[in-house]
A and B are shown apart, each in its own frame.
Chain A
Amino acid sequence: MGKAVGIHLEIRGLQKRFGERLVIENIDLQVREGEFVAIVGRSGCGKSTLLRLIAGLETPTEGKITQDNIWVQGINPAVRVMFQEPRLLPWQKVSDNVALGMDGKTEDIEERTSQILQQVGLEDYKDEWPAVLSGGQRQRVALARALVSRPRLLLLDEPLGALDALTRIEMQQLIEKLLQKQGTTALLVTHDVEEAVALADRVILLEEGEITLDLPIPLPRPRQRNSTKFVSLAGRILDRIMQTSANESSRQVL
């Protein structure tokens, strides 16, 4: 299997308005091929909107998004999105949900589907309807569906939100392993700073529609979560988030 090459993503002067509300103010961002960028920020700061813009599900009010120097408008077939909700088709069995939109030989699809289901720990559920799964299991199916087709650009919107701590770490390791193997470019939205530092090559902080922090994570993989460097990086990001929100609330008091 040849190594799929990730997309080189470039965003310039991006702005998005919904009516009067300015959600994305002005974003410039470069993501190298194969780079893994985590986006953190408070609820409602525009993280999902940014991913939707990149996926071509929203049209920018201003600015340009290019993939491999090509200005993409509309949905790019090389991109896969894992939405904030699982969005499984209730009328398809788990394995058919995972295989959605894959093309190729049937045996090949079946093999890859059952392999990825095994990796997310749901091989016993492949013939079940999504309705019988728990919330976390549904999320893992959605993750499997996003990963199985080896996209060139992967957009993950809080993929592990509904999982317990243990499964969460397992899934983080799975994402890390698969993306490195496939060379996929990835953007991960998360509210868990530790998750961002564990997975990403770079962590970006989004505040009121602007990037206010862009921090490389130069730690070797696999990352030790209790190493001093790890802890201090995570602490810095967290401090930064808290600091601005503290400023905001003091501003409100004045």
Chain B
Amino acid sequence: MTSGFRPGRTVKFMIPWSVPVGLVILWQLLAHFGWISSRILPEPAGVIQSAIRLTESGDLLRYISDSTSRALVGLVIGGSIGLVLGFFNGFFPVAEKLLDTTIQMLRNIPHLALIPVAILWFGIGEESKLFLVALGVFFPLYLNTFHGIRSVDPGLIEMGKVYGLRGWTLFWKVILPGAMPSILVGLRYSLGIMWLTLIVAETISSDTGIGYMAMNAREFMQMDVVVLSILLYALLGKLADVLAKGLESWCLRWRVNR
């Protein structure tokens, strides 16, 4: 960037948010002048009011934290199994021969198709949701870890061995960082699937969480709360993505553009 328009820091921060904010303003105007019925879409002001009401009662915070902890616990369980299995199959061709076909077959079953099974096995409590989230995030992390390990430059591994690296040191210094770009791609995919799975699972059966809040509100025709929960999912999804991007730019800071 050598010439032309050079936005300052705050302006740069605001540009990507100008579209969503503009849409909300438009929406408010349309609702205010009665162009759209409040039965179809409530006013943003109404959504904000219900957010305030639910915050004061403490429900909102509880729902958010319940959903978030489900998402994270599921991610940790499914993600770590995916990572470990990906490393394992990446390192040992025998293990890959033994397991890969099975995993590829399972991968082709949409994990959401297992919702009835999950409910029968685990009931509508926490376990069924954790199971579904873990299952959903497992595949992208497994596949990308496996691929990452396999695509580490063999020249670097050879060099590492000549320079005396063995076992764990070779893994930490050469193989893991080499596989990292691919693993992080897997993580970002997983985060998307994590929210998607959670939304579906909570909407179908739950007694707490954002999805439950939405379904409950639907029964009482509280359209503003339904919209609020959709907005919350959007914000939480965006937050997860921002964190993943931050992690990526920290882990891959050696990828300097010159």
B39 near A: Cβ within 8 Å? Answer: no
Supposing A85-B155, A129-B254 touch, asked if A145 and B173 sit within 8 A by C-beta, the answer is no
Most buried by A among B155, B159, B177, B253: B159
B161 near A: Cβ within 8 Å? Answer: yes
* CB pair A75 B258 closer than 8 Å: no
* CB pair A83 B155 closer than 8 Å: yes
Q: Which residues of B contact A57 (CB under 8 A)?
A: 158, 162
Compute how far the CA of A174 lies from the CA of B158 in the bound complex, rounded to whole angstroms: 26
* CB pair B254 A90 closer than 8 Å: yes
The 8 Å CB contact of B164, one of A89, A101, A131, is: A101
Nearest-neighbor residue (CB-CB) of B164 within chain A: A101
Supposing A89-B173, A92-B173 touch, asked if A75 and B254 sit within 8 A by C-beta, the answer is no
Supposing A89-B177, A90-B254, A132-B258 touch, asked if A75 and B161 sit within 8 A by C-beta, the answer is yes
Most buried by B among A75, A79, A87: A87
A81 near B: Cβ within 8 Å? Answer: yes
Compute how far the CA of A183 lies from the CA of B83 in the bound complex, rounded to whole angstroms: 47
How many residue pairs at the A-B interface have CB separations less than 8 Å? Answer: 51
* CB pair B256 A132 closer than 8 Å: yes
Contact digits for B223-258, partner A, Cβ 8 Å, 1 yes 0 no: 000000000000000000000000000000111101
* CB pair B254 A100 closer than 8 Å: no
The 8 Å CB contact of A83, one of B159, B173, B174, B253, is: B159
Compute how far the CA of A92 lies from the CA of B155 in the bound complex, rounded to whole angstroms: 16
Q: Which residues of A contact B160 (CB under 8 A)?
A: 89, 100-101
* CB pair B256 A87 closer than 8 Å: no
Compute how far the CA of A85 lies from the CA of B161 in the bound complex, rounded to whole angstroms: 16
A189 near B: Cβ within 8 Å? Answer: no
Nearest-neighbor residue (CB-CB) of B163 within chain A: A101
Compute how far the CA of A85 lies from the CA of B159 in the bound complex, rounded to whole angstroms: 10
Q: Which residues of B contact A81 (CB under 8 A)?
A: 159, 162
Nearest-neighbor residue (CB-CB) of B258 within chain A: A132
* CB pair A131 B162 closer than 8 Å: no
Within B147-177, which residues are at the interface with A (CB < 8 Å)?
155-156, 158-165, 173-174, 177
* CB pair B159 A80 closer than 8 Å: no
Least CB distance from A153 to B in Å reads 11
A77 near B: Cβ within 8 Å? Answer: yes
A18 near B: Cβ within 8 Å? Answer: no
A9 near B: Cβ within 8 Å? Answer: no
Q: Which residues of A contact B161 (CB under 8 A)?
A: 75
The 8 Å CB contact of B165, one of A83, A90, A100, A132, is: A100
Least CB distance from A170 to B in Å reads 24
* CB pair A87 B159 closer than 8 Å: yes
Nearest-neighbor residue (CB-CB) of A86 within chain B: B159
The 8 Å CB contact of A55, one of B155, B162, B164, B174, is: B162
Least CB distance from B201 to A in Å reads 38
Compute how far the CA of A132 lies from the CA of B53 in the bound complex, rounded to whole angstroms: 54
* CB pair B156 A89 closer than 8 Å: yes
Most buried by A among B155, B163, B164: B163
Contact digits for A130-145, partner B, Cβ 8 Å, 1 yes 0 no: 1110000000000001
* CB pair A131 B165 closer than 8 Å: no
Within B166-214, which residues are at the interface with A (CB < 8 Å)?
173-174, 177-178, 180
Q: Which residues of B contact A130 (CB under 8 A)?
A: 254
Most buried by B among A77, A79, A91, A100: A91
* CB pair A129 B256 closer than 8 Å: yes
* CB pair A87 B156 closer than 8 Å: yes
Q: Which residues of A contact B178 (CB under 8 A)?
A: 91
Least CB distance from B133 to A in Å reads 31
Least CB distance from A247 to B in Å reads 36
Q: Which residues of A contact B162 (CB under 8 A)?
A: 55, 57, 75, 79-81
Within B32-56, which residues are at the interface with A (CB < 8 Å)?
none
Nearest-neighbor residue (CB-CB) of A83 within chain B: B159
Least CB distance from A34 to B in Å reads 21
Least CB distance from B172 to A in Å reads 11
Q: Which residues of B contact A100 (CB under 8 A)?
A: 160, 163, 165, 173
Q: Could you show 15 A-B contacts with beta carbons less than 8 Å apart?
A: A57-B158, A57-B162, A79-B162, A85-B155, A89-B160, A91-B178, A91-B254, A100-B160, A100-B163, A100-B165, A100-B173, A103-B164, A129-B253, A129-B254, A132-B258
